[in-house]
Amino acid sequence: MHRFLVVNGPNLGHLGVRQPDIYGTRSMDDLPGILRGLLGERAETVKIEIFQANGEGEIIDRLERAREEGIDGLVLNAGAYTHTSLALADCLAWIGLPCVEVHLSNVLARTEEPLRQITLTGKHCLGVVAGFGLDSYALAVAALLRHMEQQ
């Protein structure tokens, strides 16, 4: 059984309600069903914990605890901190947990906000999944699972 932690940053506690034209209408409550649909029976080999915080320090504290708890991998949607937080990037660099960065929208297509095309955290991740709404999380979990199986 692999233990993965899904970490959501600021403003992501209202997925499904917040700007549905950009972020979709599904909430994190839909994630288990999406995972089962994508992973099939392999979904039973993964235990997912979901954490959300608006504060940068709270997110860093949770990531540090994940290391201490022996969490196997991270799915991280740091929200706006993706583009601005050196502290979060530094945390990812030292905790050494496999991580996949997630974005609900295609941040590269958001040319009206060039800052959203920059990721400070992405270089400390195995990869980045963006633009598939809540399915991005399921794709990230599948990538982490594949990574674990290849280790």
Give pLDDT tens digits for 95-129.
999 999 999 888 777 667 766 668 899 999 999 99
66: containing domain? 2-150
pLDDT tens, position by position, 24-64: 788 888 888 888 888 888 888 899 999 999 999 999 999 99
CATH at residue 68: 3.40.50.9100
Q: Between residues 29 and 147, which one has the greater pLDDT? A: 147
| Range of lowest pLDDT (4-13, 14-23, 80-89) | 14-23
Number of domains in the chain: 1
| Cα 81–chain centre separation | 12
Closest by CA to 60, choosing from 7, 124, 110, 23, is 7
Q: Helix or strand or coil: residue 11?
A: coil
Catalytic residues: 23, 103
HSE value, Cβ hemisphere, 13 Å, CA-based, for 44: 2
Buried b (16+ CB within 10 A) or exposed e, 70-98: ebbbbbbbbbebbbbbeebbebbeebebb
d(CA 142, CA 25): 22
